[in-house]
Amino acid sequence: MKRLFILLLIVAAIFSIYYDLSRGTLPIAIETNTSAQSEMPTNVSYFNKEVQSGETVLSIIEQQLNGPIPVPIDELTKDFSNLNDGTEANKIQIGKVYKFPDYTKLHE
């Protein structure tokens, strides 16, 4: 009798794990799609530059302007991401050519 109870307990645990993994017991969360905002076309002009070792998006823009950037950093990263098909500013790779927002007209 004890063995039968343990066997039924194991079968119930396996079924419970299988059901939870295959169908789930939690309600499905509805996700809002924010990627549509990042795919919107931008009116920012840009320049192409190959990234060298030690360069960041911020340092490249500051070097282009010979001074501080005239826009908030979150706007800069959003413009960079829009110009480069969603590539995040902190994920740039050495040796690749990227489009960088050109804020020279705003800096003048």
Query: Quick one: which of 52, 50, 49, 42 has its CA closest to 76?
Result: 42
The model's pLDDT over 8-42, given as tens digits with 9 standing for 90+, comes to: 999 999 998 888 888 776 666 666 555 544 444 45
- Spatial separation of the C-alpha atoms in residues 49 and 34, rounded to whole Å: 28
End-to-end CA, the chain: 88
Domain boundaries, the chain: 41-107
Residue 42 phi/psi, 5-degree rounding, is: -110, 150
Asked whether 40 and 82 are in contact (CB, 8 A), the reply is yes
The model's pLDDT over 36-60, given as tens digits with 9 standing for 90+, comes to: 444 444 577 899 999 999 999 999 9
- Spatial separation of the C-alpha atoms in residues 88 and 81, rounded to whole Å: 6
The model's pLDDT over 63-104, given as tens digits with 9 standing for 90+, comes to: 998 988 888 999 999 999 999 999 999 999 999 999 999 988
- Spatial separation of the C-alpha atoms in residues 46 and 103, rounded to whole Å: 8
CATH class of the region 41-107: alpha beta
What global pTM score does this model have? 0.58
Q: Residue 7: its pLDDT value, please?
A: 94
